[in-house]
Amino acid sequence: MDGDTMEILYKKTPVKIRLAHIDSPEKKGTQPFGNNAKQALSNLCFGKTVTVKAEKYDRYKRLIAVIINDKGQNVNQQMLKQGMAWHYKKYSKDADYAMLETEARKNRVGLWQDKNPIAPWLWREKKKK
């Protein structure tokens, strides 16, 4: 659906999943790298069997989860490694995610190539006004 939300089929029933620990650029409203993030997530998961490590449901009834793809990769962490997401510190205190974002920033990977990347939560606030 975008860089941090996906739909899976579980026993032929669609389940909407919000990736835990990360926030990706918005596809709606054309935030820079929004479409790149969606494509990166798709490349990691589309058409593949994944393992879902569920945490809880959010207020939109999406399952908050960590996704492991068929290659054994933690998809949430891969999105950070590829520079396609921020560590969502408001909801995650996980040091591994913080480190992955710092590393991607340092190496100017993905959205960190941008001179002035705007965090998705700030982008959403700006768009409301």
**Active-site annotation, residues:** 18, 26, 62
Per DSSP (E only), the strands in the chain are 5-10, 13-19, 22-23, 51-57, 63-68, 86-87
Interatomic CA distance for residues 21 and 33, integer angstroms = 18
* Contact assessment for residue 33 and residue 84, using Cβ atoms and an 8 Å cutoff: yes
**64: which 2 tokens?**
């908050």
* Contact assessment for residue 26 and residue 2, using Cβ atoms and an 8 Å cutoff: yes
